[in-house]
Amino acid sequence: MQTNLNSRPFILIGCAILAFVAVYFQILNGLYLDWSNDPNYSHGFLVPFISAYFIWQQRERLQQLPAKPANSGLVLIAFSLFVLMVGIAAQEYFTRRASMVFLLAGIVLFLLGWQWLKSLALPIAFLFFMIPLPYIIYDAMAFPLKLFVAKFSVLALKLMGVVVLREGNIIMFPNTVLEVADACSGLRSLMSLLALGVALAVLTQRRKVAMILLVALTVPIAVVTNMFRVIGTGYLAQYYGTAAAEGFFHEFAGMGVFLLAMVLLFVASGVLRKILN
């Protein structure tokens, strides 16, 4: 029988939330520590709030949706708990954390139904951005990016008249040697920029093609802006010594690169909105 939201037994939803927190307390605490200590995922603090904002945007529409509990949600809940147990048995963090998102979807489906799950699909799926990638995947992505950034940064430096050689991700100058590390590959800023790109696409673009293009642009923007960082570091190292390219400049360049990437992303959003919307 169809029921509306006002007659829904909220005590069940409250119990589900309490059970969720009890089961995932240690996992949530681990996520908090990762967000606090890993610069690659410091954006994780913002992800739940952005997801909540997506829900708040739909508040009027959600109030009109009927609650039609679906028993098929139990299948998704069971699958989520299975994934959790597999993650615990394998001592694998990503699997355990991903099961949390699947479980949220299963709870929504079981208590509120398919219409609610469809409406909340984006806010729930967006929560995946707060989960750090497995390091085996992160390293597999970072290494080719480091080589790419090093190669084209060296080409740019040569065009600027800098005497430089490259060996893999190692950049050699007459008086010093620099390494293109993970932080300079673009992958670190890409993690945060991708989450921002998805949020910006949803909030500013009306057509799906514009949304897809904006999200896709986060990759070249992250890589190219980090190339600027490597080029600037190399130029300073060549003419002013290694010390000039380290310390304050290195930290400032990291922040500056991400701010530049954000500006470029907002500019791209405005251009796509004018052209395609």
104/148 same-domain check: no
Whole-structure pTM over 0.75, yes or no?
Answer: yes
CA–CA dist 122, 111 (Å, integer): 18
149/271 same-domain check: yes
CA–CA dist 154, 231 (Å, integer): 8
pLDDT, one tens digit for every residue, the chain (277 residues): 444 444 454 677 777 778 888 888 889 999 999 898 877 788 889 999 999 999 999 988 888 888 888 999 999 999 999 999 999 998 889 999 999 999 999 999 998 899 999 999 999 999 999 998 887 887 788 888 888 888 888 898 888 888 888 888 888 887 777 777 766 666 777 888 899 999 999 999 888 899 999 999 998 998 888 888 888 887 777 777 666 556 555 666 667 888 888 999 999 999 998 887 6
| Residue 171 DSSP SS3 | strand
240/145 same-domain check: yes
45/73 same-domain check: yes
CA–CA dist 173, 241 (Å, integer): 10
Give the list of residues 6+ apart from residue 66 with CB closer than 8 angstroms, or none: 2, 3, 4, 5, 113, 115
231/109 same-domain check: no
Mark which of 132, 157, 181 sits at the end of a domain. 132
User: Structural domain tally of the chain?
Assistant: 2
118/146 same-domain check: no
128/57 same-domain check: yes
Mark which of 132, 164, 179 sits at the end of a domain. 132
* Interior angle at CA 191, CA 204 and CA 87, nearest 5: 120
Q: Which domain holds residue 102?
A: 5-132
Summary count for the chain: helices (H), strands (E): 12, 3
Mark which of 109, 132, 155 sits at the end of a domain. 132
CA–CA dist 120, 231 (Å, integer): 43
141/223 same-domain check: yes
CA–CA dist 174, 253 (Å, integer): 23
CA–CA dist 133, 88 (Å, integer): 17
Residue in this structure with the two tokens 């040697």, named with its chain if needed: 177
Report residue 71 as tokens. Answer: 């028993």
